[in-house]
A and B are shown apart, each in its own frame.
Chain A
């Protein structure tokens, strides 16, 4: 158990809909990262937040957005969903910003768009 929790575990929805994925980092961790894993793209970095502020962006679509709240939990919002958004979405956390800090991953949310 990494100490990172994600809800829900599974999500099934239809095209065009909007969903919110939630992540609670390990106690004391200020950085939260979101990654997407699809069959054809592998594990890809989406976005990072540190202490409530956006720090880095990867290949995140404009239909996707995220935020980190004062209690440090984070939410990833996916809107106007398409079939291709079906994937595993992982959240990871680390203590701060240093690159050499270990990122601990949550169990993921499996999203299926029908």
Chain B
């Protein structure tokens, strides 16, 4: 699975959009981009995933660049409850193992 690079920490004002970047320059054509978050020692929570098209769900939007070498997770109206560690993960479609390899993630702090 391709390696990802994320900033270790970010902050955002409550009510504003939080834009979390992820670099995955070695991604290959059969690899998905996944985002999970972990709120203070709770179990990781699935947010969204995509292959090459932009995706949106009730939690967030995922913007993947045309060359697929980077992506941005957007939380449109951040609240204090969005304070968490956000993990960007790349997973191969035809991997022999479906484990998730977590990196260090981005610690997002939402300020009132």
Contact = CB atoms under 8 A, between A and B. Distances in A.
Interface residues of B, number: 24
Contacts of A105: 43-45
Given A100-B91, A100-B93, A33 B43 contact: no
B92 interface: yes
Contacts of B95: 99
Contacts of A92: 43-44, 100
For the complex, would chain B's binding face be called helix, strand, loop or mixed by DSSP majority?
loop
A48 B99 CA distance: 8
Interface in B47-89: 49, 87
Contacts, number: 67
Interface in A16-63: 31, 33, 35, 42-45, 48, 55-56, 58
11 contacts: A33-B98, A33-B100, A42-B103, A43-B38, A99-B32, A99-B92, A100-B32, A102-B49, A103-B100, A106-B43, A107-B43
